[in-house]
């Protein structure tokens, strides 16, 4: 996706639907003439003006607040006009149409998704990590995620990245300077304690990666699928974890015919739980479709909870299901209905061992659910004791991991008896480039298009 950064843009900035307030945002270079033509008045920057929004015949469409922000002191770094009126869809559409009508001679067009925030990035109002935090703040599903997204938007993550990049730049500067004087190359690592500097940078990077993993868990959460044969208590477990009667529960096998999804939060971490149809051989057409969808959900899972009926711990159908489950995702073997067991039957169960991912519970009685919640957080890599200081995305973690790989190779060059400084310098450069891609210093246009196209229109 590519945008023209020269033409002014306009969009409805508030969510679709009816509301008390609706906002239309315009951004572009030299908007004063457009504003004068649209509103027939001069707006004082950063002052609220209560005025009518009129059509071409001078008839009032709506009345509201007009705010003008002069470049560069605006969200996008350009001139910005915001019209705040009533939130009815028909009213907002009429005001938007009027803006496009007046703005035709100025080249005004509808904004693409995320284009306002992209212009803020291109005009140095925020870096790329902060720009992504705008979308994360809007989409935050918990107060902990919202708090961490706001920290990212305020620059907490970027500050850590920039501080680490500065250390890399300092080391790179010493290396590049030494390359200009080959006779000093042999003594470089000892003279400037380059190996010690590199070790410090690597340790700082490892700490940053650990925090990024926490931030990514808080942002993305886990996609958890409840799998098992019919009547093992999958729907009961979903209801118990959700604290509500989300799924229908009966003693009739095969009650669940389609997937049922519920979002819950554990210690602020979003957990997307999917209840699925019981897995078995059946000639029922509708149930067969539900079972096919169950396997499709299992294939997309981050974590699989394989539920077993504790009264039949060695069931052959369970063995068949186990053999078909994917091997590249964590699987928790959960033995349900333990409240119905006598002492002898309980002793016949596989040992309760969260480390081995084997749990004993009773969804109906609520027994063992705290252990299950802890096991899910452990799989997520969540350390607990508070939220991450900022949110992170998969691309951030990937960039940190790439940087770490290049630093590891640089460390190998540093420890080798035949110290080749040009190779050492190249790995430092690549590590710096990967690190700086987080904030957007080194970022392809294709990546920018991918990032900002995921935003909502008007942001």
Instruction: Please report, for the domain that includes residue 193, its CATH number.
Output: 1.20.120.430
Under 8 Å between Cβ of 6 and 108: no
Burial of 386 (0-12, 13-18, 19+ CB in 10 A): exposed
Burial of 423 (0-12, 13-18, 19+ CB in 10 A): middle
pLDDT per position as a tens digit, 82-93: 999 999 999 999
Query: Residue 413's pLDDT is what?
Result: 83
Q: How many domains does the chain have?
A: 3
pLDDT per position as a tens digit, 143-186: 888 999 999 999 999 999 999 999 999 888 888 777 766 555 55
Q: Is the pLDDT of residue 219 over 80?
A: yes
CATH label of the domain that carries residue 109:
3.30.1360.120
Query: Residue 355's pLDDT is what?
Result: 82
Q: Report, as an integer, the average pLDDT of 346-361.
A: 88
Burial of 433 (0-12, 13-18, 19+ CB in 10 A): middle
Q: Report, as an integer, the average pLDDT of 225-232.
A: 91
Grouping H, G, I as helix, E, B as strand and the rest as coil, residue 273 is strand
Q: Indicate if 232 and 347 belong to the same structural domain.
A: yes
Under 8 Å between Cβ of 116 and 122: no
For residue 1, name the pLDDT band (cuts at 50, 70, 90): very low
Query: Residue 132's pLDDT is what?
Result: 93
Q: What is the 3-state secondary structure (H, E, C) of 118-155?
A: HHHHHCCCCCHHHHHHHHHHHHCCCHHHHHHHHHHHCC
Q: Is residue 132 part of a domain?
A: no
Q: Is the pLDDT of residue 261 over 80?
A: yes
Q: Which residue has the higher pLDDT, 82 or 17?
A: 82
Q: Report, as an integer, the average pLDDT of 249-271.
A: 73
Phi, psi (deg, nearest 5) at residue 252: -85, 125
Q: Indicate if 150 and 267 belong to the same structural domain.
A: no
Sign of CA dihedral 391, 393, 396, 400: positive
d(CA 140, CA 218): 9
Percent above pLDDT 90 for the chain = 55
pLDDT per position as a tens digit, 324-334: 999 899 999 99
Q: What is the DSSP letter of 358?
A: E
Q: Indicate if 194 and 115 belong to the same structural domain.
A: no
Q: Is the pLDDT of residue 113 over 50?
A: yes
Last residue of a domain, one of 334, 351, 380: 380
Which residue range forms the structural domain that includes residue 282? 221-380
Query: Residue 280's pLDDT is what?
Result: 85
Q: Is the pLDDT of residue 253 over 70?
A: no
What residues contact 180, with CB distance under 8 A and at least 6 apart?
Answer: none
For residue 207, name the pLDDT band (cuts at 50, 70, 90): very high
Q: Report, as an integer, the average pLDDT of 448-456.
A: 76
What is the value of pTM for the model shown?
Answer: 0.79
Q: Indicate if 164 and 114 belong to the same structural domain.
A: no
Query: Residue 312's pLDDT is what?
Result: 87
For residue 281, name the pLDDT band (cuts at 50, 70, 90): confident
Range in 63-67, 99-103, 165-169 the model is least confident about: 165-169
Query: Residue 182's pLDDT is what?
Result: 58
Q: Is residue 285 part of a domain?
A: yes
Sign of CA dihedral 118, 124, 130, 134: negative
pLDDT per position as a tens digit, 398-427: 999 999 999 999 988 877 655 677 888 899
153: number of CA atoms within 13 Å, CB side? 16
In degrees, to the nearest 5, what angle opens at C-alpha 308 toward C-alphas 307 and 314? 150
Q: Indicate if 264 and 178 belong to the same structural domain.
A: no
Q: Is residue 450 part of a domain?
A: no
d(CA 308, CA 357): 13
For residue 5, name the pLDDT band (cuts at 50, 70, 90): low
pLDDT per position as a tens digit, 426-443: 999 999 999 999 998 866
Concatenate the DSSP letters of all residues of 200-246 into one string: HHHHHHHHHHHHHHHHHHHHH-EEEEEE-STTSSHHHHHHHHHTS--
For residue 190, name the pLDDT band (cuts at 50, 70, 90): low
């Amino acid at each position: 996706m590519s945008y023209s950064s020269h033409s002014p843009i306009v969009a409805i900035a508030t969510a679709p639907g009816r509301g008390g307030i609706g906002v239309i945002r315009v951004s572009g270079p030299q908007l004063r003439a457009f504003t004068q033509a649209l509103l027939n008045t001069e707006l004082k920057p950063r002052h609220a003006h209560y005025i009518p929004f009129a059509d071409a015949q001078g008839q009032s469409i709506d009345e509201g607040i007009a705010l003008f922000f002069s470049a560069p002191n605006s969200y996008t770094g350009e001139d910005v006009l915001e019209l705040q009126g009533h939130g009815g869809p028909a009213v907002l559409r009429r005001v938007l149409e009027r803006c496009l009508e007046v703005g035709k001679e100025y080249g005004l067009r509808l904004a693409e998704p995320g284009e306002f925030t992209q212009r803020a990035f291109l005009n140095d109002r925020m870096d790329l990590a902060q720009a992504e935090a705008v979308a994360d703040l809007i989409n935050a599903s918990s107060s902990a995620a919202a708090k961490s997204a706001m920290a990212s938007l305020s620059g907490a993550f970027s500050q850590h990245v920039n501080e680490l990049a500065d250390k890399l730049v300092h080391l790179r500067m010493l290396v590049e300077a030494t390359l200009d004087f080959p006779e000093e190359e042999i003594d470089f690592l000892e003279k400037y304690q380059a190996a010690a500097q590199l070790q410090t940078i690597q340790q700082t990077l490892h700490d940053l990666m650990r925090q990024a993993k926490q931030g990514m868990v808080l942002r993305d959460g886990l996609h958890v699928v409840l799998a098992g044969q019919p009547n093992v208590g999958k729907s009961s477990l979903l209801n118990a974890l959700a604290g509500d009667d989300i799924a229908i529960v009966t003693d009739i096998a095969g009650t669940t015919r389609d997937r049922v999804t519920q979002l819950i939060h554990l210690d602020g971490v979003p957990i997307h739980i999917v209840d699925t149809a019981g897995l078995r051989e059946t000639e029922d057409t509708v149930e067969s479709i539900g079972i096919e969808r169950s396997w499709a959900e299992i294939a997309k899972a981050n974590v699989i909870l394989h539920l077993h009926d504790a009264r039949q711990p060695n069931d052959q159908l369970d063995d068949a299901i186990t053999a078909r489950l994917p091997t590249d995702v964590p699987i928790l073997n959960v033995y349900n209905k333990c409240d119905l067991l006598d002492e002898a039957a309980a002793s016949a169960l596989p040992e309760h061992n969260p480390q081995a991912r084997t749990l004993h519970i009773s969804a109906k009685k609520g027994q063992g659910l705290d252990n299950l919640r802890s096991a899910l957080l452990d799989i997520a890599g969540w350390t607990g004791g508070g939220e991450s200081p900022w949110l992170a995305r998969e691309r951030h973690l990937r960039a940190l991991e790439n940087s770490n790989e290049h630093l590891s190779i640089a460390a190998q060059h540093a420890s080798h008896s035949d110290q080749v400084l040009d190779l050492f310098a190249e790995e430092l450069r690549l590590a710096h480039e990967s690190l700086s891609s987080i904030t957007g210093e080194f970022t392809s246009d294709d990546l920018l298009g991918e990032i900002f196209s995921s935003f909502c229109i008007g942001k």
